[in-house]
Amino acid sequence: MTRLASIAGASLAVVLLAGCSGPSAVTSSSGRVIAVAPQPSDAAEQALAEGTVGWSEAGCLTLEGGSPNLIVFPHGTTLDGETVVLPDGTTIAAGDDVALGGGFHDVISGADQLPDVPRECFTPELFWASGEVQ
């Protein structure tokens, strides 16, 4: 196993071991849903995902730009109407072009960590946002 693969595996383990101590979905009064990491994480993943955020047909916030990816926001993220409010106060709304730091994970390894997220929201690959937002 290469060093990079070992680091990536360790980062994934940190994310997956974050457990299910908190809700993994936040739903607005209008039925919009965001996926949220159930616990804080110190994972230092370094992937960059760029695209436009938008509401999927299932009402979940995804990152568009190629294949859509369900975004899993950091623990403590809230939903104010249809605006996502990150723990640092940064806001994201549908139609915003963003660059998110974090990591891509297949749905098989991530879905069990998100029990409150409606199954129709899942995409084949999830993006766990854990870094900066631009």
Torsion, Cα 105 110 113 116, to 10 degrees, reads 110
Nearest to 26 by CA among 63, 74, 64: 74
Q: What is the mean pLDDT of residues 80-84?
A: 93
CA gap 114, 103 in Å, rounded: 16
pLDDT in tens, 100-111: 999 999 998 888
Judging by beta carbons within 10 Å of its beta carbon (0-12, 13-18, 19+), is residue 105 exposed, middle or buried? Answer: buried
> pTM to 2 decimals?
0.80
Q: Say if CB 21 and CB 115 are below 8 A apart.
A: no
Q: What is the mean pLDDT of residues 109-131?
A: 90
pLDDT in tens, 3-52: 333 333 333 434 444 444 678 999 998 899 999 998 887 666 778 999 99
Side chain identity at residue 41, one-letter code: S
